Amino acid sequence: MSSALSVYLTKTLPNNYLSESALIAFKDEAAHIVIGDNEEENLRRIQKAGRQLDTQGVTAISVKGQGWDKERQWSLSLGFTSTLSRNHIQWTAEVADELQQISDVYRFTRELINLPAEDIYPVALAERVASHLTELAPDHVSYEMIKGEELKQAGWMGIYTVGRASQHEPAMLVLDYNPTGDANAPVESALIGKGITYDSGGYSIKPSEGMLSMKCDMGGAATVSGALSLAIRQGLKKRVKLFLCCAENMIDGRAYKLGDIITYKNGLTVEVVNTDAEGRLVLADGLQAAGEAGAKQIIDAATLTGAAQMAVGNEYNALFSVDDEAATTALACAQQEHELLWRLPLNRWHAENCPSPYADTANSRPQKGGGAGGASNAAGFLLRFAPNDGQGWLHFDLAGAFQKSATSMWPAGATAMGVRTIAATLAR
């Protein structure tokens, strides 16, 4: 594309009238991004420069000159985009195929999250993911979808209860990626995604401004689906099962109410004290399904709590686990993939932090945001359902999955942050 703007890296400002904090200088019909000696800060500067180029109306760029390794080019790509843009980047030939692979997965993931709930409802989400992964590996993918009253009959009461009030029936997607050629091969990993395609809060209704971005509440389902897509493209040879727990959390005469008690397939009873703490109710079904599949490694991802955002902001995702070895692996993968991930506290006693006089546990505490330690208590609730006493289980609370408005680093909308980390963790 001859009309693409050439973009170079430089350590010296090409124009002496610019301040030392300048990110970009334009000279000889090219953009020069100013970097320094700290590589992590360089990646941030390059991503910010990409945002500036996008907001200035540039639609095509070509990386030129020295210093453009894969991660620097990817950082530029993360900034040089927006929800509506069709921007184009000419990568360097050495890494073009690899970067295009990641870019295609991110586009798929971000589109799922950014589309309105009118287009992405529970069954539609499951169908889009199943179609995408089947097209990617037709000889190795099979799936079933359990929906509506079938969920109740199968015992998946969390998804059924949360989603029964919507005109769009709830669904669980069970997708099997098995490249081994052996129908009896063990399931090495299970991926579980929260697929709340719209979250009104139910009878614990959200305020209008809190509801505006709730099309993103299926970000966990999109993220684990994108991670599996990327891992397959990168040559994953292990059997993986994907469980998407899909529902709309809406209000009508059939909606679940505060004080209701849900009896799960494993016999555990849960009192509903907050209908806006619905994500953990559907993930509980996914965790049980992963246990039935015998998965050795279990990863769930969800836009689960505002408390995680309060702890780590929108720049990080939060990680919870009672398995130190598994958590260390995930953190190492995040560092390798240059995604920000922070481990927050989870002890076994967190499972006792939402007591109920009427059931084995409540789904939260009856106070705003679940009270102090809300993210850890939500993870503690999930620990009750995690197979193998939580060994091999990782819970990603995706605080950085969605930006309500554009920042200096990110466009408004979905970021797909976490896809690379989870894909790398699968490969380990």
The residues assigned a catalytic role are 206, 280
* Rounded Cα distance, 205 and 144, in Å: 32
Instruction: Answer whether 60's CB lies under 8 Å from 4's CB.
Output: yes
- Of 360, 358, 357, give the one whose Cα is nearest residue 381: 360
* Rounded Cα distance, 145 and 151, in Å: 10
* Rounded Cα distance, 388 and 303, in Å: 24
Cα three-residue angle 423-383-254, rounded to 5 degrees: 95
* Rounded Cα distance, 36 and 187, in Å: 46
Give the tokens for residue 349.
């006693």
H helices of 342-402, in order, are 374-383
For residue 274, how many other CB atoms are within 10 A of its CB?
Answer: 21
* Rounded Cα distance, 366 and 369, in Å: 9
* Rounded Cα distance, 58 and 139, in Å: 41
